[in-house]
Amino acid sequence: MSKPIDTLSAHDRTDLQHAHALLENPSIAAKLSNVIGAPVEQSMKILPDKWSRRIHSVTAISIDKALDVAVESIPKRPQRILPHKFYTGAAISIGAASGFIGLPALAFELPLTTTLLLRAIADIALQEGEALDSLESRLACMEVFALGGISPDDDSAETGYYGTRVALSMTLNQAVQYISTHGLSQRGAPVLVNFVSAVASRFGVAISQKTALQLLPVAGALGGATINGLFMEHFKSMAHGHFTLRRLERKYGEALVRKEYIDLVNPAPY
């Protein structure tokens, strides 16, 4: 009987540290603000209330569509993986096109960007050894939409990466069990509605920040392209961190990897 591995190798510890850096710093809001040269808070103040409601609605529709793709369309076996630049380039093109139109383009642009992002996430999952013939692994791709960096106001590791996973774990597991038995034929089933809502509510925060920045005078077609490209790169980074940790968890167990990760978030005082 093999002895459980209770210590990360030097190589795997480096991977853990890299994943931590990707997942916890900086937030999408900080990245967007740095590129545009204006704080997200400023742009959020000029976002009309009716558009806040519209963003929430379109985000939910986009995540619901992504669930279809995750369950029914993501390749279950490794195929030719597209270069990462392909996805970012496509997102930039979509952002440039929607930038000419402005906010009314959101209903067209966001579902396309979300589906494109999910495909990029699935490729990253495959590269990190995920078996996408597993429904749980495919829905783990959906988790990435809910991930983001810790904000400066967060004072606990539980508000970061593992906190988000804990918050989603029950609805994700229930969705896996339900879809395994019933598929997606009953889209109004509370289990599916709860899962989509849980992911969309978190993803919607980033979408609101992204959309609000596109309202600023500096935006437009060029701003829309830049913001969309950065948005894609951010969530690809989240996917790399997420699936690196899942790979390590398969090797060492979730408890050990989580402990080592939390120690990086809250290092012991000397």
Q: Which amino acid is at 168?
A: L
Confidence at residue 38, expressed as pLDDT on a 0 to 100 scale: 61
pLDDT < 50 stretches in the chain: 1-3, 100, 149-157, 221
Confidence at residue 124, expressed as pLDDT on a 0 to 100 scale: 93
Confidence at residue 151, expressed as pLDDT on a 0 to 100 scale: 44
- The string of pLDDT tens digits covering residues 69-102 is 999 888 776 565 666 666 666 665 666 555 545 5
DSSP code of residue 195: H
Distance CA 222, CA 95 (A): 8
CA distances from 111 to 96, 179, 188 (A): 15, 22, 20
Place of tokens 């959309």: 211
Confidence at residue 152, expressed as pLDDT on a 0 to 100 scale: 41
Confidence at residue 150, expressed as pLDDT on a 0 to 100 scale: 45
| Tokens of residue 212, six digits | 């609000």
Confidence at residue 106, expressed as pLDDT on a 0 to 100 scale: 73
Q: What average pLDDT does the chain have?
A: 81
Confidence at residue 2, expressed as pLDDT on a 0 to 100 scale: 47
Confidence at residue 104, expressed as pLDDT on a 0 to 100 scale: 65
Residue 56 · residue 199 · CB < 8 Å = no
Residue 87 · residue 120 · CB < 8 Å = yes
Classify residue 13 as exposed, middle or buried by CB count within 10 Å of its CB (0-12, 13-18, 19+).
middle
Query: Hey, how many other C-beta atoms are within 10 angstroms of the C-beta on 97?
Result: 17
Residue 189 · residue 178 · CB < 8 Å = yes
Question: Which string of DSSP letters, residue by residue, matches 177-203?
Answer: HHHHHHTTS-TT-HHHHHHHHHHHHHH
Confidence at residue 54, expressed as pLDDT on a 0 to 100 scale: 84
pTM of the model: 0.86
| Tokens of residue 70, six digits | 């995750």
Query: Hey, how many other C-beta atoms are within 10 angstroms of the C-beta on 102?
Result: 15
Confidence at residue 169, expressed as pLDDT on a 0 to 100 scale: 94
Q: Which of 97, 140, 113 is nearest to 58 (CA)?
A: 113
